[in-house]
Amino acid sequence: MKMNRTIRWFGFLGVLAFGVILTGPSEAHGQRTRGLDRGLRINGEGVTKSLKPVIAGVRRSIVRVLGDDEHLALGTIVSRDGLIITKASELKGKKVIQIELFNNKAFDAKVVGKDDKFDLALLRVKAKALPVVRWDQNANRGRGTWVAAPYLEDEAVKLGIIAANRRKIKVVGGVIGIVLGLNRDKRGVPIASVAPNSAASEIGLRPGDVISHVNGNVTKAREVLIKSVTKFPPGERVKLVVLRGMKRMELEAVLRDRSVVFGDKDRFRVANGKLSRRRGGFPVAIQHDVPIRPEACGGPLVDLTGRVVGINIAKVNRSESYAIPADEVLKVIKKLKAGKVVKTGREKENSKAARKG
């Protein structure tokens, strides 16, 4: 019975694919054919309905991750005795972490460990006999592979394809929101102007201020200051030493997205919607075009048999998202269960700066 459903589903995809091809202009008759029914298009009602039997079991292995009563991300159950993987950076600054199961049961969660390189955190809850996902560790999943991102809500199933082969994702650097001055100052780098609605304006920086240190490191040259800041992603905190005349100030800024600070903020939001704060700096990731929400990160990316090919880790823009491949996720889980906390150079530097502060 299960095999028959799978065969029907793949047959349906074949009809869908050819249907899309056949709905273009008809040159032979000089007229357009009728467009494909909306319900049969990707993420149409017919498609999502056909997906439901395949991923029904997967949904039971998804949890909602809450921090101080705020929905932060999704989590994926990876062991029957209460281990859950989720997106680490969304947990920052939260005092109380809880998870909600598919049946709305809630549990307090403890952070077992974090891997900053992949932005993954392993949580533990006191629960038994939890439904665990099935993994697909095929490292050769390439472009064009059909994938889906199930949510906890029964109707929310999104379909797409792997859009690019797995690869390293560069850091998307955050900004303070300042324009640097051209005048030289032997004490540091002067500020020429401050962008509105930026981290700089939030902490009260002004034109004429001089930044002499970032995270305890001297920044007397423009290039050094730029590099010291942009190696951190949006959402990260950096410690600044700012000189204003004879006054010395120690401030902390939360970096923001360059496109939001210096671009057309409203147009950016309309075009892309809400994006993940950390969207880069991953050793390896799968790029796909499934339309996920940022708060769906930490949830599974599955193939059409319901096996997990990766854990969604970032919404990058309207049509691009990243997932950490299943084989890499399993390596991270093994390390974190063994008590190994994996930090990047950025996290080590922030820890060092915090100790200095």
Task: Convert the pLDDT of each residue in 298-343 to its tens digit.
Answer: 999 999 889 999 999 999 888 899 999 999 999 999 999 988 666 6
DSSP state of 88: G
Residue 282 β-bridge partners: 169
Q: In the prediction, which pLDDT does 248 show? A: 96
Surface-to-core class of residue 257, CB atoms within 10 Å of its CB (0-12 exposed, 13-18 middle, 19+ buried): buried
Assess whether pLDDT exceeds 70 at residue 25: no
- Kindly state whether residues 64 and 49 are assigned to the same domain: no
DSSP state string for 27-46: TTTTEEPPPPPGGGSTTSHH
- Asked if the structure places residue 153 within a domain, the reply is yes
Q: In the prediction, which pLDDT does 38 show? A: 54
- Kindly state whether residues 183 and 157 are assigned to the same domain: no
* H or E segment to which residue 56 belongs: helix 45-59
Q: In the prediction, which pLDDT does 30 show? A: 44
Which residue did the predictor score with more confidence, 343 or 166? 166
As a whole-number percent, the residues of the chain with pLDDT over 90 amount to: 55
Question: Is 63 in contact with 74 (CB distance < 8 Å)?
Answer: yes
pLDDT digits (tens, 9 = 90+) for 221-252: 999 999 999 988 888 899 999 999 999 999 99
Domain boundary among 58, 76, 93: 58
Q: In the prediction, which pLDDT does 98 show? A: 96
CATH classification of the domain holding 346: 2.40.10.120
- Asked if the structure places residue 26 within a domain, the reply is yes
As a whole-number percent, the residues of the chain with pLDDT over 70 amount to: 77
Q: In the prediction, which pLDDT does 267 show? A: 54
Q: In the prediction, which pLDDT does 342 show? A: 64
Distance from the Cα of residue 307 to its chain's centroid: 20
The whole-number average pLDDT for the span 127-132 is 94
**What distances in angstroms separate CA 263 from CA 196, 198, 234, 259, 303, one per listed residue?**
11, 12, 15, 5, 37
Q: In the prediction, which pLDDT does 346 show? A: 52
Assess whether pLDDT exceeds 70 at residue 173: yes
For residue 333, the number of C-alpha atoms closer than 13 Å in the C-beta half-sphere is: 21
- Kindly state whether residues 40 and 125 are assigned to the same domain: no
The whole-number average pLDDT for the span 116-121 is 95
- Kindly state whether residues 46 and 14 are assigned to the same domain: yes
Q: In the prediction, which pLDDT does 167 show? A: 94
Surface-to-core class of residue 135, CB atoms within 10 Å of its CB (0-12 exposed, 13-18 middle, 19+ buried): middle
Q: In the prediction, which pLDDT does 257 show? A: 83
Helices (H), 138-276: 199-202, 222-230, 258-262, 265-272
- Kindly state whether residues 162 and 290 are assigned to the same domain: yes
The whole-number average pLDDT for the span 291-297 is 91
- Asked if the structure places residue 272 within a domain, the reply is no
Position 267, amino acid:
R
Residue 175's nearest CA partner among 265, 274, 257, 251 is 257
- Identify which of 39-43, 143-147, 155-159 has the greatest average pLDDT: 143-147
Q: In the prediction, which pLDDT does 78 show? A: 97
- Kindly state whether residues 141 and 285 are assigned to the same domain: yes
- Asked if the structure places residue 66 within a domain, the reply is yes
The whole-number average pLDDT for the span 100-109 is 94
**Packing angle of the helix pair 45-59, 2-21 (nearest 10 deg):** 140
Q: Rounded distance, CA 246 to CA 36, Å?
A: 70
- Asked if the structure places residue 352 within a domain, the reply is yes
The whole-number average pLDDT for the span 44-67 is 82
User: Encoding tokens for residue 105?
Assistant: 């049961």
Q: In the prediction, which pLDDT does 8 show? A: 46
- Kindly state whether residues 134 and 154 are assigned to the same domain: yes
Q: In the prediction, which pLDDT does 60 show? A: 92
- Asked if the structure places residue 290 within a domain, the reply is yes
Assess whether pLDDT exceeds 90 at residue 126: yes
Assess whether pLDDT exceeds 90 at residue 77: yes
Q: Rounded distance, CA 149 to CA 48, Å?
A: 11
- Kindly state whether residues 65 and 145 are assigned to the same domain: yes
Cβ-based neighbours of 167, under 8 Å, separated by 6 or more = 284, 285, 287
CATH classification of the domain holding 219: 2.30.42.10
- Asked if the structure places residue 267 within a domain, the reply is no
Domain boundary among 229, 260, 291: 260
Q: Rounded distance, CA 59 to CA 310, Å?
A: 15
- Kindly state whether residues 91 and 214 are assigned to the same domain: no
Q: In the prediction, which pLDDT does 315 show? A: 93
| Domain enclosing residue 110, as ranges | 59-170+278-356
Domain boundary among 43, 58, 73: 58
Q: Rounded distance, CA 166 to CA 137, Å?
A: 13
- Kindly state whether residues 153 and 283 are assigned to the same domain: yes
Position 85, amino acid:
I
The total of other beta-carbon atoms located within 10 Å of residue 143's CB is 12
In the chain, the largest separation of any two C-alpha atoms, in whole Å, equals: 81
- Kindly state whether residues 252 and 194 are assigned to the same domain: yes
Cβ-based neighbours of 165, under 8 Å, separated by 6 or more = 142, 143
- Asked if the structure places residue 47 within a domain, the reply is yes
Q: In the prediction, which pLDDT does 28 show? A: 41
Number of domains in the chain: 3
Dihedral sign of CA atoms 90, 96, 97, 100 in order: negative
Assess whether pLDDT exceeds 70 at residue 17: no
Assess whether pLDDT exceeds 80 at residue 19: no
Q: In the prediction, which pLDDT does 197 show? A: 85
Cβ-based neighbours of 181, under 8 Å, separated by 6 or more = 189, 190, 191, 192, 207
- Kindly state whether residues 136 and 207 are assigned to the same domain: no
